[in-house]
Structure 1
Amino acid sequence: MNTTDRAPGVLVLAATPIGRSADAPPRLAEELATADVVAAEDTRRLRRLAADLGVTVTGRVVSYFEGNEAARTGSLVEAMESGDRVLLVTDAGMPSVSDPGYRLVAAAVEHGLHVTAVPGPSAVLTALAVSGLPVDRFCFEGFLPRKAGERSRRLAGLADEQRTMVFFEAPHRTEAALAAMATAFGDDRAAAVCRELTKTHEEVRRGGVAELAAWAADGVRGEVTIVVAGSVGGSDVPTDPASLAALVAEAEQDGLPRKDAIRDVARRAGLPKREVYDAVHKSP
C-alpha cells in the first residue's frame, strides 16, 4: 500500500464477506486495525468479523445504518476534514450498493475529500458469474418495490431490457417477485435464483421465471440474488415453424438434447418454448 493510500482525511469503503469470513480481502484486516473511525451498519456484526479476522479495532466505532445515516453523515465528514481516516463497512458486500454509503460518499466528494475502496466480495458479481446467463452486458436493479403494483410497473419498464439483470430480494418475497417477472417477461425468460452464496447451504436454481416461481412457492430461506436474462427482442432468428424446426434439428445434430435445443432456439428467437415445441412436433 503506497503512502497516498494511507493519507489522513480519507473515506475508505471496504467490502466485507457475503458468507464466509475467510473470503475477507487481506486489506480489510489492516484497515480495521488502523482506521481512526469505523462506521458500521451493525456494530455487533463488526465486532464478530474483527474477532474472526483476529483484529483489534482501536479506532472509534460508530453505527451507520439506514435509520441514522442522514444525521450521522455530517459528523463523519467533519472527522475526515480534521484528518481522520474513516472506514465504512456494511453487513455484507460493498457499501453503498443497496446498502448505506452513497450519502456519505456524495458528501465526501462534495467537500473535496478523497474516497477509496477495499475491493472484495460482491453478491452481484458472484451471482452473475455462476448464473450461466450472458455476462458481457448487465445491469443491477437492486431490490424491487414491496408493493405489488409498484413492482409490476418497475418490471414492465424492464421488459425490453436486453442486458442481463441482477436483483436482490428478500426470501419471503422471492415467489411474488418471480411470478411478477413471469407476467412482465414471459414464463420462459431464463433466470437463476442464487441463495446463500458462498455459504454452507449455497444453492443455485436455474430455469424459466415461472418454473422458478413454482419452486419458490415452497418457501425460500437465506440471502437471495436473482439473475434474469435480458430480452432478445429484435432477434434476426427466423420465427416461421419450418425454420424453428430446422434450427432445433441443427442443434440436435451438434449433440444438444432436444429439450435443451428447443429452449435455446426459443431464447434466441424471443419466443415461448411451447411455440418452438409445437413447430418441431408439427413439422413434416
Structure 2
Amino acid sequence: MGTMIDAPALAPGLYLVATPIGNLADISLRALATLAAADVIACEDTRVTRKLTERYGIAAPLTAYHEHNSDEALPKILSRLAAGQAVALVSDAGTPLVSDPGYRLVRAVVEAGHNVTAVPGASSVLTALSLAGLPTDRFFFEGFLPPKQAARQKRIAELAIIPATLVLFETGPRVEASLADLAAGLGPRQASLCRELTKLHEEIRRGDLATLAHDYAEGAETRGEIVIVIAPPAEEETADADIDAMLRDALTRTSVKDAVSEVASATGRARREVYQRALELARNGAED
C-alpha cells in the first residue's frame, strides 16, 4: 500500500484523468490529487485501475464504466454529478476518450450542464509519434484496422492517400497480417513499430513496411500493446492509379457525379481532372 495522498476538495464535475500507459510512475501530481479527492473513479476495468490506486494509497471508490455497461452506468454518473459530486473518469491506460467510448459520457455531461475538466498526461499515440522519427506536423490517428482481411485491405487503400503520418493500434495476434497488408497497400514507406511503450520490455523497430512485415513473418515478438506509425505518402503517390482505384470503388456504390465529388474531395484533385479519369474508365470498360 502506498502513502495516502492529501488532496484538496474538488469542485463538482467530471474530471478526465490521464493515467500511465505502462510505467506507473508516469502520472502527474495533479492527476494523483484529483483521483484522491474524487467522490468516485469511473474506470474501464476496476482491477486495472486498482493497481494504480493501491500503488499511491488512493482510497476513492471505483465504479465500472465501459462500452458494455454504459447504458446502465451513465445515468448513475449523471445522478452523482447532479448531487454535486466530483467524478473522475480514467481508461485502462493513457488518455481517456482515445479509442474508447468515453465521449458519450462527456457529451451527456455537457448536455446536462455539468462542468468537464481534463487532467492531461500519458498517451501512447503521442509517445509513439515522438519516438518514430517521422513527420509530426500533421498526423492521422486511425486506431485499429478491421480484423478481416478484405475490409482491412479496403481501409488501407483509403488511408493510402491521406497526406499525413498515420498512427495505428494493433494487437499481437494480428500484427503480422496487418503489416503484410500495409506493405502491399502502401508500398515502401518508412514506419516505426512501438511495442510495450514505457514498460520494462519496450521495443521500437524502425524500417520500411516490407522489412517490418518480414520481421514479424519470421517470428518477431508480438506480446504487449502495439502502436504503428507510418510515414505520409510522397506527393506523387496519389497518382492516377490511386485515383482510378478510388473511382472504381465509388462507381460500384454511386453515380458518376457523386463518385467524382467523393474522389475529388478525398484527394484534393480538381473535379474536372477526376471527371476526365471517370470518363476514361467508363470508355475503357465499354471497350473490354
Q: TM-score range by the shorter chain?
A: 0.7 to 0.9
Residue aligning to 2:135 = 134
Deviation at 1:215, TM superposition (A): 0.9
Contact residue 21 and residue 197 of structure 2 kept, 8 A: yes
Q: 2:148 & 2:189 partners in 1: Cα distance?
A: 22
Is the alpha carbon distance of 1:55 and 1:6 closer, same or farther for their aligned partners in structure 2, counting shifts above 3 Å? closer
* Deviation digits for residues 131-187 of structure 1 (CA, Å, limit 9, x no counterpart): 01011111111111111111111111011111101011111111111111112111x
Contact residue 23 and residue 121 of structure 1 kept, 8 A: yes
Residue aligning to 1:257 = none
Deviation at 1:84, TM superposition (A): 1.2
What are the residue-to-residue correspondences of 1:1-284 with 2, within 5 Å? 6-8=10-12, 10-57=13-60, 60-186=61-187, 188-217=188-217, 218=219, 219-234=221-236
RMSD of the TM alignment (CA)? 1.5
Q: 1:113 & 1:140 partners in 2: Cα distance?
A: 29
Q: 1:92 & 1:114 partners in 2: Cα distance?
A: 23
Q: 1:212 & 1:106 partners in 2: Cα distance?
A: 40
* Deviation digits for residues 52-102 of structure 1 (CA, Å, limit 9, x no counterpart): 123222xx4211122112321122122112211110111100111012411
* Deviation digits for residues 196-218 of structure 1 (CA, Å, limit 9, x no counterpart): 11111111001111110111121
Moved more, 219-228 or 62-71: 62-71
User: How many residues end up aligned between the 2 structures?
Assistant: 227
Q: 1:74 & 1:141 partners in 2: Cα distance?
A: 30
Deviation at 1:18, TM superposition (A): 0.5
Q: 2:135 & 2:145 partners in 1: Cα distance?
A: 22
Q: So what's the TM-score if we normalise by structure 1?
A: 0.77
- Gapped regions of structure 2 (runs ≥ 5): 1-8, 238-288
For residue 229 of structure 1, what is the amino acid of its counterpart? Answer: A
Q: So what's the TM-score if we normalise by structure 2?
A: 0.76
- Percent of pairs identical after alignment? 50
Q: 2:101 & 2:226 partners in 1: Cα distance?
A: 19
- Gapped regions of structure 1 (runs ≥ 5): 236-284
Runs ≥4 residues deviating over 6 A = none
Q: 1:123 & 1:211 partners in 2: Cα distance?
A: 23
Deviation at 1:234, TM superposition (A): 3.7
Contact residue 169 and residue 228 of structure 2 kept, 8 A: yes
Specify the SS of the correspondent of 2:159.
coil
* Deviation digits for residues 209-252 of structure 1 (CA, Å, limit 9, x no counterpart): 111011112141111000001111248xxxxxxxxxxxxxxxxx
